[in-house]
Amino acid sequence: MPTSPVRHRRSGSRLGIRRTGFALVGTAALALSTALVPSAATASDIPPEGEVETSDNVEHVANSPLESPLDNTGSDLAFTGDYAIAGNYDGFVIYDISDPENPRTVSQVLCEGGQGDVSVSGDLLYFSVDYPREDETCGSPSSDPSDADAFEGIRIFDISDVTQPRYVSAVRIDCGSHTNTLVPGEDGETDYIYVSSYGPSEEFPNCQPPHDKISIVEVPLDDPASSEVVNEPVLFPEGGNEGDEDLLRPTEGCHDITAYPELEVAAGACMGDGVLMDISDPVEPRVFEQVQDENFAFWHSASFSNDADTVLFTDELGGGVAPTCNEEIGPERGADAFYSVLGKFDKGANDPKLRFDGYFKIDRHQSDNENCVAHNGSLIPVEGGDYYVQAWYQGGVSLIDFNKSKKPEEIGYFERGPVSEDELVTGGSWSAYYYNGYIYSRDITEGLDVLKVNDERLSSAEDVTYDEFNPQSQPRY
């Protein structure tokens, strides 16, 4: 069972790099990517530059390209009714997906501030800002993180009119908001937002080390302008996994959290650690299980099975900018790790534990010019079955059967050829989620892809429909 950090060398892992949508940027990313470059996959196995390839059970039915002014890096997705909301490093886009095979841009909001993680709650949109700005408003210039007056945190928008989203307010957060997770309040009158951020430095007055915490924002739904931080729980009072120099980053709070509100639990991917949390009191989450993995460089994201008897964690080896899907890196790094949950999430019972079961990594080896690693995904809602759709950057989109968590396998895929056949250019699928009969993939450079699955094993998923879907606020079906 994995217990300690992996022992292999990486350039740039402790260079004090400022937070980004990927783990590293600039020369550090280049050094890291170079260190991980494998022997190229066989040329005949790699689709030509930009060309789409799918398995027989997956059909690529639509693409909506990035449009000016939001033609920067595309990021994560959230869904409400007939609309998909797509984050971007320069703001967000709302797509009409009432006809999934003909998605249409309804509105674009230019509002710079980093990767732009998004969550939706009724008429409200929560938007992450993790690049310092001079003030809270859209259009404010970038600022230096050493400026104590700089703004980072959560911006809140009213999207009751999807054609004209309206800026409502903002909440300042220590170290900003790299990702955000919606936890609806039981009273139906309040939302809680779990904000994850990292990258502290003694030079940043608003982002001081050790930063072993998350921030919790309370949003009164009838007065979102009065939203505020109501707690900053320290998840790692003893420092988490901070002492191993071979981690991509030490534990500094969390990178991302997936809540399962109906079961009052959450799973956190926290750079050096994976955790399970009791969120029965959403303002006072409690860590009751903490695991480390000798093959994980960067605990990135998490998902539960529908019955919450399995947790899938992802390792973003290389920070999303390196080519790690190859024979040399192997199947146990830059992969998914599956853990069985031993025990029940019952109040008053013993806290459940996590038992490592196995890894999954795509075996469609990518070229040395394609960044590829495990990234964001969601369950395919098949009653009584465990199936998952997941983004792998330039490894494309993978359909995974994990009914046997010790032996998960790919059962379908979609991918493009490299962004460039001549050099390593970052691109590919950032996130891939199943929503009301289709898979939506947010491509970093190519916009929104829509996929249709034709597979008897997954056909019952078409009977499951949602009015709203935030993949990091996992519903039960």
Whole-model pTM above 0.85? Answer: yes
Taken in order of first residue, the domains within the chain and their CATH numbers are 26-469 (2.130.10.10)
447-453 sheet: strands from edge to edge: 58-64, 447-453, 438-443, 429-435
Nearest by Cα to 347 from 278, 393, 416: 278
Distance in angstroms (rounded) separating the CA atoms of residues 183 and 169:
19
334 sits in the region (left: phi over 0; alpha: psi -120 to 50; else beta) called left
Burial of 11 (0-12, 13-18, 19+ CB in 10 A): middle
How many CA atoms lie less than 13 Å away from 380 in the CB half-sphere?
32
Taking only the tens of pLDDT, the chain with its 477 residues reads: 433 222 222 222 222 223 333 444 333 343 444 444 444 455 558 899 989 999 999 999 999 999 999 999 999 999 999 999 999 999 999 999 999 999 999 999 999 999 999 999 999 999 999 999 999 999 999 999 999 999 999 999 999 999 999 999 999 999 999 999 999 999 999 999 999 999 999 999 999 999 999 999 999 999 999 999 999 999 999 989 987 777 999 999 999 999 999 999 999 999 999 999 999 999 999 999 999 999 999 999 999 999 999 999 999 999 999 999 999 999 999 999 999 999 988 766 689 999 999 999 999 999 999 999 999 999 999 999 999 999 999 999 999 999 999 999 999 999 999 999 999 999 999 999 999 999 999 999 999 999 999 999 999 999 999 999 999 999 999
Distance in angstroms (rounded) separating the CA atoms of residues 278 and 287:
6
Q: How does pLDDT run across 340-356, given as a tens digit for each residue?
A: 999 988 766 689 999 99
Q: How does pLDDT run across 5-51, given as a tens digit for each residue?
A: 222 222 222 222 233 334 443 333 434 444 444 444 555 588 999 89
Mind giving me the DSSP string for 53-69?
EE-TTEEEEEEE--BTT
Angle, vertex CA 461, rays to CA 457 and CA 467, nearest 5 = 170
